[in-house]
Structure 1
């Protein structure tokens, strides 16, 4: 019996202990993938490359230490930038231009707004262009823009309104916004100027004595929209067909909103202004004039309570970043205090033909090698890529119970191989004593 056989067994058992100990040490490491030791027997070859039927093996060797890329449990964390991959794929990181790949999705925002891991590596993905559209094909560092969302002036308003056909003309005349008895129905809509200042568009509806006819009065902030020095509202007649549908005639209306060919109203030349301490209005620094299209094409006159059932406008005030969310397809969506949301990027994932060929780089990262093949880059939940779980992390896939059993097995193997060396030593001593 050769000492080398026993020594190779001791080395193998020691390697198994190292791997098992490393697995146990990383049982709580996010995104960690356990390893296993794979052994192979050894045989001495003859000069001709063949061995006889009575050849005895010369021990054991470590064939490989392979990582097990099985799915770990996904745990919710509540942190908006924590991400877990459910399925295939790796996050792509940039270490000063060098690509790394990881399953650990604990990310943060650094002082510059870049999304990084604990080692400062940048998370890679697809950014947006100046129009807010996601770019594709070119990986870039993902970042969070914390600057305020620029305001947008209102240019379009749509309203769905019904006016009660059974209503009677007010007993008080003429119309006065201060006298609720001089009109039948009113509602208001917030509109915004070029600086994001909110103004109130007020619309009043007065039933005429004439059948199927109303008058709409329009103010902004209680004054004439085109002349803030005047409290006289814009006035438009509204007529309806026998079936209650809105009937219009396109053209300019003296003292009122112009009617476009499609039946929408045009508020051209609105002068955004601010109220002064003396009750008058003056320029607030916004654009001198603005144009708004008012779509009331769904206006009806039915025998039902006057009501506004739908309303929308496209302007908004400036907004500060208030929240960040990640979808299962990796889209990063920023929510602002003005209620608006913007997609600011999309996380990219990488997959490999042979994940076992990846080279561990420490920090729960891997590097591409010739054996792994080149990475296939894509977005989550497409093709063979897994989906993302937001505000979650993937736990280590180490089975602690199995590793403890492996410890017992490795210990037994070590003791058994040590016994072969002890036996060989005893035989050697006996042989020496015979001489």
Structure 2
């Protein structure tokens, strides 16, 4: 039995090492959230068995959870580099399959057709607003169907030949505006921020993107700098929340656990060999 107990310890230590290694590998990934492996003991006894004479039977991996703590921000001086200070996610949609996902990686850029996309090519979703007043045209409880792709026209009116774009601005509440050559300020939309009842229930997709699931609950959409949503900082990006010093200490601890379990298997093998030799 001790072989299998130590074997479960080896597997647990291996999972811990893999989790920590992934954290260290992504220390420079924009808006990456570190993961943590959680373990539980295995204990079993027959209904009529005295539990005070039963030892544990090993360890198992209960879950690997992400830690959605705030990462530090780094200035870039690029207007469409956006960082969220506080809770919330940006909402983006892939054009290939209309799949909506959520991210805190605010490294956005403009494509040739003037749509604002993230590093994966997914388009930033915004709450539609009146171009003159900036008042939202979609009211009530918002869903993904109420959101639209953000487009920054080169000329205003869109498709015209005059009034070329002069600059783009992003406010703390996510209001995105364009200023044109004749001084006209046009409200292009308000960044659609998403929040969830259980962030731990989100499914990872990679590239700092997540999908909503039944465990996370449906997304709640709103504007930044209000309620559940943090504020948006233009010209900055959120770095990963990995503390490299803490990860290296955890890496040493996981390595020691692996070595200890390997030694336990070696000791059990030595004892078994000795007993067999005594009987022979």
Same topology, TM > 0.5: yes
Of Structure 1 and Structure 2, the greater helix share is in 2
Could you tell me which residue of structure 2 aligns to residue 263 of structure 1? none
Are residues 1:333 and 2:177 paired?
A: yes
Of Structure 1 and Structure 2, the greater strand share is in 1
Higher relative contact order (CA 8 A, sep 6+): 2
Could you tell me which residue of structure 2 aligns to residue 380 of structure 1? 224
Measured in 1, the distance between the counterparts of 2:198 and 2:133 equals: 36
Change (3 A) 1:417 1:128: same
Could you tell me which residue of structure 1 aligns to residue 148 of structure 2? 140
Could you tell me which residue of structure 1 aligns to residue 34 of structure 2? 34
Measured in 2, the distance between the counterparts of 1:50 and 1:139 equals: 61
* Deviation digits for residues 115-152 of structure 1 (CA, Å, limit 9, x no counterpart): 111111111111235766432242111111112459xx
Could you tell me which residue of structure 2 aligns to residue 86 of structure 1? 85
| Structure 1 counterpart of 2:265, from 396, 405, 421 | 421
Could you tell me which residue of structure 1 aligns to residue 115 of structure 2? 114
Measured in 2, the distance between the counterparts of 1:130 and 1:31 equals: 31
Which structure 2 residues correspond to residues 32-431 of structure 1 after superposition, within 5 A?
32-46=32-46, 48=47, 52-95=51-94, 96-129=97-130, 133=134, 134-136=136-138, 137=142, 138-149=146-157, 318-431=162-275
Measured in 2, the distance between the counterparts of 1:371 and 1:364 equals: 19
How many residues matched? 268
Shift of 1:340: 2.3
Measured in 1, the distance between the counterparts of 2:155 and 2:163 equals: 9
Change (3 A) 1:50 1:124: farther
Aligned partners of 1:149 and 1:336 also within 8 Å: no
Shift of 1:323: 1.0
Aligned partners of 1:354 and 1:372 also within 8 Å: yes
Measured in 2, the distance between the counterparts of 1:50 and 1:388 equals: 60
Measured in 2, the distance between the counterparts of 1:37 and 1:50 equals: 32
Aligned partners of 1:34 and 1:396 also within 8 Å: yes
Shift of 1:51: 6.0
Segments of structure 2 that go 5 or more residues without pairing to the other structure are: none
Aligned partners of 2:45 and 2:54 also within 8 Å: no
Shift of 1:346: 0.8
Shift of 1:93: 1.1
Could you tell me which residue of structure 2 aligns to residue 10 of structure 1? 10
Larger Rg belongs to: 1
Question: RMSD of the alignment, in Å?
Answer: 1.8
Shift of 1:391: 1.2
Q: TM-score, normalised by structure 2?
A: 0.91
Change (3 A) 1:51 1:323: farther
Measured in 2, the distance between the counterparts of 1:36 and 1:319 equals: 52
